[in-house]
Amino acid sequence: DTGVSQDPRHKITKRGQNVTFRCDPISEHNRLYWYRQTLGQGPEFLTYFQNEAQLEKSRLLSDRFSAERPKGSFSTLEIQRTEQGDSAMYLCASSLDWGIYGYTFGSGTRLTVV
């Protein structure tokens, strides 16, 4: 297990379509985070899981967004009825403890909505 894996790396979709991204965290990490990064900006927090429980959702996560982490392993982030403003890099990160050792980020999924 060499790190956090995200799939796909790139996704181009038409406006109005649904998309789903997958994140596989480091296996022993019980905390999982989703962030969104737009061009020229720092990552912005979207949501946080501890094991399978979703403990916090940002106000950035509108009703069109849903995230799951079944059985506390991999996580999925779904965006329904995509809009051009959803175009961004979606980053997943995992950690073992309260971020003391730092989060390990994946390489992200770049979403382009046309």
Partner 1 sequence: QQQVKQSPQSLIVQKGGISIINCAYENTAFDYFPWYQQFPGKGPALLIAIRPDVSEKKEGRFTISFNKSAKQFSLHIMDSQPGDSATYFCAASMRTGGSEKLVFGKGTKLTVNP
**Which residues contact partner 1 by CB under 8 A?**
4, 31, 33, 35, 40-45, 48, 50, 55-56, 58, 91, 93, 98-100, 102-108
For the bound state, the minimum distance from the C-beta of residue 92 to partner 1, rounded and expressed in Å, comes to 8
Paired with 113 in beta bridges are: 13
- CB nearer to partner 1: give 74 or 105: 105
Tell me which residue of 114, 14, 44, 34 sits closest to 78, measured CA to CA.
Answer: 34
Please, which residue, 20 or 45, has the CB nearer to partner 1?
45
The Cβ-side half-sphere exposure at 65, using a 13 Å CA radius, reads 18
